[in-house]
Structure 1
Amino acid sequence: MANHIMLSYQWDDQALVKRVYDRLMEDGFTVWMDIEGGVSGNINDAMAAGVEDAVVVCPFMTPAYQASRSCKKELNYADVRQVPLVPVMVSKNWEASEWLGLLTAGQLWVDFRNVDKSDDHFEKCVKSLEEEIMFVAGNVLTIQEPNNDPDNTPSRERLKRKPGRGFRHALTQLYLRESGEQKFHPASETRNTVELHYSPGDNGYWEEIKGSGCKHYRNIVTNGYLGFDANGDYVYTKANPYGAEEWLLMVDESDQSHERAVVIKNKHSGKFLAVQQGRFIGLPYHTEECKWFLN
């Protein structure tokens, strides 16, 4: 039975991955790493077992990882087994291509590019990784109480799985949530309006559903699918998804805060979801007004 998080990496990054392994274990996660008892006997059998017993695989992506035959075998096997991935981007000014780009296309990677900047940055990176693991696989993970040393280590709260993704606008600090008000549209009849609010509330969390080269976001309370009307520059939800309810969620690579900054692009219109003067707007280019933090 699958029960652990598998850390997949190329040996040049072993010190970083070991540090991440230790922190995840301290926080109560069950983690598989080759040098921590993961490999015994035949290495291929051990790696296969590591994948087969994984609820999620975290590849630490670098050019060397992409060039590694062993890493390619691991991740291809994870793909065949349909094990979810939580990619970790380690290298700066580089993006995955070839087989690695194919397997991680559309995946929201966790930003570890400046992980060595300070201990505080490392902690933020690990927190982001834990949050994404919980989002992807928190329903099947068993997490022990954090292993805190009362004499030396500040107490850390036990992570809980959130009901869905929440989006907080970076500049206004307002949350994207369904308002509950209805608006008639001649093409799709009733639509529910979406607002900006100081708190997410129950209507501010969105279930992420994989589409064809896109993602749909369904409100966890109303089951309405998030959409964008490019003609009227407004955001809404409706009962069934179509073209205007298709989204691309991408890491904001320009951000340095390590607060899990993303941009949300409407696939149908090609516009980035932004906020200007307290209202939604679609922009054809990326600015600071397009930046959102995952909540």
Structure 2
Amino acid sequence: MSNGREDEIAANRMLADPQAVRGQLAADLAEIAALGRGGVQTDPAAGSRAMAEVVRANADRLAFRSPVEAATLSLRRLRELPVAERGAGSPIGPYHAAASATVAHGELRSASRGRLVFDRVAAEVAHTTVTLQAVVEVDADGSVWLEAFGWPAEPDGAPIWVFGGTAEEYLAQAVTDARSGMPFDRVMSMVLGTASAWPGPVGTEARRIELAEAVAARRGELGAYVSNAESYALAVRAHGPFAACFYRSALETLFEGFLGGAAVSLVDMEEIEEIDDELRDVVAEVGPVPPGAVPAGIPSHHWWWHPPSP
């Protein structure tokens, strides 16, 4: 399983070497072809529910329209899956497997002619779950394609992340994850799980310092997390505001509860301001996350979940 720092190093190497970019793309396309996902065909005249059953039965054959898109989404959205579903090495196989599991075993949330949406609640750590969503398109000729997979882009008001443990339990998990080399986004999700303790401090001072030191030791990955938060903010119009708000709240919880003034030396605060400026404009435009989808315990001053009217 790769971490954010390794991905950043690999990306920088490829940017410096166009041949490496071509080689990586060729390897990704070969891996996608090796999955053997020949696509799914259904009767376009059948009802939506009947089409959904055909799609479920053939979930392991579902593919994205473009192999390049499949490779891009696998890399970009693998971090939205629980760690246990990410596998090791390339993200392509695990990402497609998780999408198929969501279609095959998830709940059919909505079905209309041409579009099927499946939701699956997946376990993360104890008392913690995340909802994954697979969106499937059915063409007029009956061809079936994966359109999107990851956190729901259009939440219906049901929780996406459920933090059912205590703030102290999430602090302990965050420390363990940070020190053991767990993917940094998982560390930050556990940090967000401590937000329910606001405005009081969570855990002992020694424990809070332990987390701050562990995060500081992974400074490069923290920077990559900030960059991912900005990417999500820039993609709100296309993919909805949930992911951007989730990442921004995780950062705010880290700053306020654990890093304090040290955040200035670890993070480019101008990037945080740029994220806030983008969220202030775009979330007011597209509308906020439905209240029921906002993780429980988010402090009220995390305004990006409920921006003021323009």
- Normalized against structure 2, the TM-score is what? 0.26
- Normalized against structure 1, the TM-score is what? 0.27
- Structure with more helix by fraction: 2
- Structure with more strand by fraction: 1
